[in-house]
Amino acid sequence: MKIRWRHVVELLPKDIPLFIPDIPGYGRSASLAGPHDKRSVGQAILQGLRSALQHDKQQSIVIAGHDRGARICHRIGVDKGYANMKVLGTIFLDIVPSLVQWQTFNNPAAVVGAFHWPFLANVSIATAVIKAQGGDKWVEICLTKWFGKNSVGLQKFHANNSMKVYMDSFKPESVIRASCDDYRAGAQEDIEEQRKDQEQGRKLDIDTLLIYSDDYIGKRYNFEKVWSEWMGSGKLNITPIGDGIGHFLAEEAPEKTTSTISLFYENVASR
């Protein structure tokens, strides 16, 4: 949800133009009528940007996303953009490629840690179970599991009554189902596309910035080793954030996240 970027928006230079949508189906955004694979979602988002710009000229953009949004950005980056948009660079917060994530599920501990991946991919079952419990309670459980232990970071996460906003946003059944549809696509067509990408040499030919929680996902993966196998001619930039900061980097560590994003943006946008 776009509320995740509230601190970063305040800290970014004011001359950087921003377009911050909710992922279709999440928050206040309507769900897609068709497939929820990352290519379809990415095309819908960039078409929304195209409509907002109200012109058909080629537009150069830098894209950024956290978690599910970062996976959409990964797809857009490999596909080199849509809707006459030229992607200069892409920024991923706290992810490894979806295919890599699924491949680590041969480790029982990894499955326990990311149990929601296979659970949500069973759309009908997961939707019914979460609806019975309450989408707001489900979100509260998940967010509490994923944020870090840094006291200052936690204060920043909870600022602006964010937990209530997240919980309220997941009360509608339509949002619960859209989230499940997202994960179902992530278990099927998205990873099939990534498998084909790797087999056929389609990689990231644009500069890419990775920002990740060093104390959480960083303990499970060697980010440089993992992501170097997914890079083409683009330059890989990696910034870990430690000190007990958890999954929600833009909220728990907005200053470090924003300064890293700003520097990357200046480098790619000035070319």
Which pLDDT tens digit goes with each residue over 15-71? 999 999 999 999 989 999 888 999 999 999 999 999 999 887 889 999 999 999 999
Identify whether the C-beta of residue 247 lies closer than 8 Å to the C-beta of residue 94. Answer: yes
Q: What is the pLDDT of residue 125?
A: 98
Q: CA–CA separation, 163 vs 50, rounded Å?
A: 32
Q: What is the pLDDT of residue 171?
A: 97
Q: CA–CA separation, 173 vs 238, rounded Å?
A: 37
Residue 124: both structure tokens together: 């009908």
Q: CA–CA separation, 136 vs 246, rounded Å?
A: 21
Q: What is the pLDDT of residue 54?
A: 84
Residue 29: both structure tokens together: 């955004």
Identify whether the C-beta of residue 171 lies closer than 8 Å to the C-beta of residue 110. Answer: no
Q: Give strand ranges (E) for 101-214.
A: 207-213
What fold, for 2-269?
Rossmann fold (3.40.50)
Q: What is the pLDDT of residue 181?
A: 97
Identify whether the C-beta of residue 202 lies closer than 8 Å to the C-beta of residue 78. Answer: yes
Of the candidates 48, 15, 81, 95, the one whose C-alpha atom is nearest the C-alpha of residue 265 is: 15
- List, for the chain, all residue ranges whose pLDDT scores fall below the cut of 70: none
Identify whether the C-beta of residue 197 lies closer than 8 Å to the C-beta of residue 79. Answer: no
Q: DSSP letter for 3, please.
A: G
Of the candidates 178, 207, 150, the one whose C-alpha atom is nearest the C-alpha of residue 68 is: 178
Q: Is 107 helix (H, G, I), strand (E, B) or coil?
A: coil
Q: CA–CA separation, 44 vs 35, rounded Å?
A: 11
Tell me whether residue 226 is exposed, middle or buried, using C-beta atoms within 10 angstroms of its C-beta: 0 to 12, 13 to 18, 19 or more: middle
Q: What is the pLDDT of residue 106?
A: 94
Of the candidates 27, 114, 32, 23, the one whose C-alpha atom is nearest the C-alpha of residue 73 is: 23
Q: What is the pLDDT of residue 193?
A: 98
Q: What is the pLDDT of residue 33?
A: 86
End-to-end CA distance of the chain: 30
